[in-house]
Amino acid sequence: MSDMPSDILIKQQIIDTVRMFCTHGLGVGTAGNLSVRSANGFIITPTGLAYEQLKPDLLVELDAEGNTVTGHLRPSSEWRFHRDIYRSDDEAGAIVHVHSPYATAMACTHQSIPAFHYMVAIAGGDSIRCADYATFGTAELSNYVIRALQDRKACLLANHGMIALGRDVSSAFRMAQEVEELAKQYCYSLQIGSPVVLDNKEMQTVLEKFKHYGRQGEEDN
């Protein structure tokens, strides 16, 4: 584990990233949260604190049961689905949750994002599902999230926002940006007419190609 970034570097990366939520159009104010898997469980942003006020020692580390390991502030009110995602997905190293405008607009109609564009496959399947609605912070919402994220790296949350997963903070943040851009494109296409959805056979082809997508020296076009 010696090659892993130190906690202080990870915490600073969390702070730097949540401060980009607003500047990159992924939310306003303190809406949203971010966590990173740690040796003891996961490190997460605290609830209700302006991102400009965050310091490394104000982040909260929770164990696999949701108990505080380090930190004196209360964790994000959404700590439960962060914990349960890490429990259910060994590949998830970081989780971004935001109330970005287009993804949230889609979520408020309880619609998933279908394969109107091949890039939907970047989230791991032929759609970006919308999890059923439940009150924020509840076990019920967490259960719906786990269901929507099965074999996926992102989902929408009905009447709420979106969740994006990654191996690390950077990849989770990029996934959130990708989902927001796809939601925007889909909203625009709905205004023009009826988007043509790619069939399952084509999406399976795309998903196969995405196994090498973005890797230098391998086929990715």
Residues that are catalytic: 78
Tokens of 201: 């056979």
Rounded (5°) CA angle 32-50-33: 20
CA separation for the pair 11, 114 (Å, rounded): 35
CA separation for the pair 73, 63 (Å, rounded): 15
Q: Give the list of residues 6+ apart from residue 82 with CB closer than 8 angstroms, or none.
A: 33, 35, 42, 44, 76, 95, 97
Per-residue CA distances from 216 to 40, 122, 219 (Å): 34, 17, 8
Q: What stretch of H or E contains 20?
A: helix 20-23
Look at the chain and count its residues: 221
Q: Give per-residue burial for 43-53: e unless 16+ CB within 10 Å, then b.
A: bbbbbebebee
